[in-house]
Structure 1
Amino acid sequence: MSAPVQPRPFNPDAARAEMAADPRELAARRQPGMSLEAPFYISPEFFDLDIDAIFAKSWIFVANEAEIPEAGDYVVIDIGRYLVIVARDDDEKVAAYHNVCRHRGARILNDACGSVGRIVCGYHQWTYDMNGSLVFADAQAEDFDKSCFVLRKVQVRSVAGLIFLCISDRTPPDFDEVVATVEPYLAPHRLAEAKVAAQIDLIENGNWKLTMENNRECYHCAGGHPELLESYFPVYGFDLDDIPARLIPARDRYLAAIKDLEDTCDALNLPYAEIEDLDDRPTGFRIMREPLEKAGESFTPDGTAAVKKLMAGFPTARLGRNSMHLQPNFWCHFMADHAITFSAIPIAPDKTLLRTTWLVHPDAVEGVDYDLDELTWAWNATNRQDSTFVERAHRGVLNPAYVPGPYAPSEYQVDAFINWYIQRIREHLAE
């Protein structure tokens, strides 16, 4: 058994020195199994580093195809100082461009989303078609060549209806392998054919890594998420062979529900096995299908389906939750009746955009096939509760008395996330 970690005495001078430490030194001395030192969470220098090392170099989930169903539809994503347009182009394919005019660099589209026939810069009216070509630039010299000033593209991929982009020209080399692994889990839900029932943006007053750490564990769920635990087995992250006595009844229910779900999935040829590789590769991920409590159909108080029209023509609503995590900013839950996607986008060292999107069958009608409040009930409440926890964590880390603390065994995915993060930071700093 390892020796217990002893808290170090509070020393104001040491706290100031920690804030002034070189990022390379801080990254090199990170202790596995422990949370990060304060500058990682609160320093503007580390915020900029995170944008360059993590968000500019990883495949980042930004939207669902259902958010841009028609040619000309777009969403705008701001990732630190990178401004990106994600659009359905004239060929009805998903495209992404830097939201920067090729004239003098003005931001072109300013609304968060919308639909346009062409992309027009409001400064000098330079106009681009949805494929990025410059089609109008008034009062230019006779030898002006519009073809030299197309919108700069951003690499974009749609994975079973989920849109990812990578700002860097050097994309993670393992993404194709990851896609090949997860797509069979995701594709049966036919997300690209779905429609958006609701989308809620929440600004969390904390660093984006605290948002992700909070998401990667359910250690806090018993005391913090009563709505979620109506349909969530409280064994997430625990070793089922060495579980606290209080959770044994929940474990037994969980194991019985797993057997029922596996039998159903086998009959429908749906994959369900857990695949987890969170910190040993550039694109860390985890995916599996697992049961929900009670009726086992959806995130509702009694576990029954929240939407009458099931997605993708599934013959049963009792398919549990098909869940995926993808480093650094994405998680989702796909049920038979609806799907939920989450993305965390850093805004500032102490602010993170959490965007949650609920998707349903394209023919499902609000008020007839589903009640919006019931559909969003569990995760709307959970997000608000988590936002409070993230804010409290950030306020605590701001205190000079903060020192890194140990992750519990059930928080192994938090440790894996931080291991992954530190490796990306070290690689970037070594370039």
Structure 2
Amino acid sequence: MTAILPAPESAVVPPRSRAAELVARRVPGFSLETPFYTDPDIYDLDVELIFGRHWIFVAAEAEIPEEGDYVTVEIGNESVIVVRDDDMNVNAFRNVCRHRGARLLDGRCGAVGNIVCPYHQWTYGTDGALRFAENQGAGFDKTRFGLRPVHVRAIAGLIFLCLADEAPTDIDEFAAAVEPYLAPYDLRGAKVAHQTSIIEDGNWKLTMENNRECHHCEANHPELLGAYFPFHRFEESRVPARQKPVFERYQAANEALSAAREAIGFPSAHIRELDSRVTGFMVDHMPLQGKGASYGDDGAQLSTRLMGSIVDPVFGDFHIHTQPNGWFHMLGDCAVVFSVLPVSPNKTLVRSTWLVHPDAVEGVDYDLDKLIFVWEQTNAEDCSLVERTQNGVADPGYVPGPYGVVEDDVEAFVAWYIKRLGAELAKGA
């Protein structure tokens, strides 16, 4: 029997070169090739070059309302502390002690007076400054050993991080664009009503692709469609005949929503820069079905306390998409914000956070089960869809297929990803 010898080392294509080849041959308008969804090397590059060098959404400011409140964020093998300091500023630091590298804080969230390393009790302020380090030599300079900072921006109540040494500067343009839309909801002053974290058995890009279209909603999200019109990015000519009556209701509700915006001077421009900038984003405002107020039964209002300065409970769904990992739904009576983080090539964390007016009282102003019901159901249904798609793209029978005309935001996400991965690979070429 002839022995099968391993391929010579020169025949092994380095991961970056292989990724560059895949990027170069991607066909616009089609889904990605299998390795983008399954290959551990591509996954590692995603963590390093996409999540490591771009602004990512990680938390709502309402999660850290007081001095010393913190959350931790896990991105690949990196851990970050996001903490509010004594001056109420939002700071972010590597979750690593400057002494001998021990992990500082465990768990998702908590509150501290100072950040104390459990190993040798090096002690840091919430501003990152080293305050105590025992048994150091006479020449020891505490100012040289503060916690390593991470770029952080709190934008109208939403917290974004960038792990890179130099963060993309167009975050300022993003902030300037979205703050006028978000200000009336006062997310910064809201409170957390509920939060869930689930693991989807699929690649993070499949989670994002699934989110970027509602083409699948009619067949898969009956609870959501009790309030949500499935016409995001639909033109009238694209609407199937069976949906014409619903589309007519949508048009009438959209006219009423326009009047409600004008009444309070709420911005009306639709912004879609999903694949044309480094920090890609989109803002849109859509009416809801039925009563048109929120995600209750037939669009019913879910909390008697309206958000911020919103005065009309029938104020539709204002939503934002951010590349690579966030989406946000603002209603008159609550907000729901979503953060996606990669866990492995075929596992993704989806964190959902429900925000309400700071004075809203559970059991009095809102029923928690009703508040979260629609998005909890939708998350569970999407979890199944993502797993089903992961199983399919890993099958040898899979070949990339074409996106439909109503899936242009999926194409925009994939185009952004390919463009940004290619650009970051080129930097290291």
Q: TM-score, structure 2 length as denominator?
A: 0.94
**Is 1:232 aligned to residue 228 of structure 2?**
yes
Structure 2 counterpart of 1:142, one-letter code: A
Structure 1 counterpart of 2:361, one-letter code: V
Aligned position for 1:174: 170
**Is 1:45 aligned to residue 46 of structure 2?**
no
SS in 2 for 1:259: helix
**Is 1:363 aligned to residue 356 of structure 2?**
no
Conserved? CA contact 1:278–1:416, under 8 Å: yes
1:119 Cα shift?
Answer: 0.5
Aligned position for 2:4: none
Change (3 A) 1:98 1:409: same
Structure 2 counterpart of 1:180, one-letter code: A
Distance 1:227 1:159 in 2: 31
Distance 1:170 1:27 in 2: 24
Aligned position for 2:124: 128
Conserved? CA contact 2:184–2:309, under 8 Å: no
1:169 Cα shift?
Answer: 2.5
1:19 Cα shift?
Answer: 12
Instruction: Spell out, residue by residue over 1:112-140, the C-alpha distance to the aligned partner (whole angstroms, 9 max, x if none).
Output: 10001111111221111111011111112
Unaligned runs of 5+ in 1: 1-16
SS in 2 for 1:404: coil
Instruction: Spell out, residue by residue over 1:203-251, the C-alpha distance to the aligned partner (whole angstroms, 9 max, x if none).
Output: 1111100000000011110110000000011222322233211121111
Which one of the candidate residues 21, 28, 32 is aligned to 2:28? 32
Q: What value does the CA root-mean-square deviation take over the aligned residues? A: 1.5
SS in 2 for 1:86: strand
**Is 1:215 aligned to residue 211 of structure 2?**
yes
Aligned position for 2:50: 54
Instruction: Spell out, residue by residue over 1:329-375, the C-alpha distance to the aligned partner (whole angstroms, 9 max, x if none).
Output: 00001011000100101111111110000000101000000000100
1:269 Cα shift?
Answer: 0.5
Aligned position for 2:151: 155
How high is the sequence identity, in percent, across the aligned residues? 53
SS in 1 for 2:420: helix
Unaligned runs of 5+ in 2: 1-11
Aligned position for 1:296: 292
Aligned position for 1:414: 410
SS in 2 for 1:356: strand
Structure 1 counterpart of 2:316, one-letter code: G
**Is 1:338 aligned to residue 334 of structure 2?**
yes
Distance 2:280 2:309 in 1: 31
**Is 1:265 aligned to residue 230 of structure 2?**
no
TM alignment of 1:110-149, pairs within 5 A: 110-149=106-145
Aligned position for 1:241: 237
Conserved? CA contact 1:342–1:356, under 8 Å: yes
Aligned position for 1:87: 83
Q: TM-score, structure 1 length as denominator?
A: 0.94
User: Number of residues paired by the alignment?
Assistant: 415
Instruction: Spell out, residue by residue over 1:305-335, the C-alpha distance to the aligned partner (whole angstroms, 9 max, x if none).
Output: 1001111142210100110001010000101
Distance 1:76 1:367 in 2: 30
Distance 2:93 2:169 in 1: 22
1:146 Cα shift?
Answer: 1.1
SS in 2 for 1:317: coil
1:18 Cα shift?
Answer: 11
Conserved? CA contact 2:186–2:309, under 8 Å: no
Distance 2:13 2:137 in 1: 56
1:91 Cα shift?
Answer: 1.3
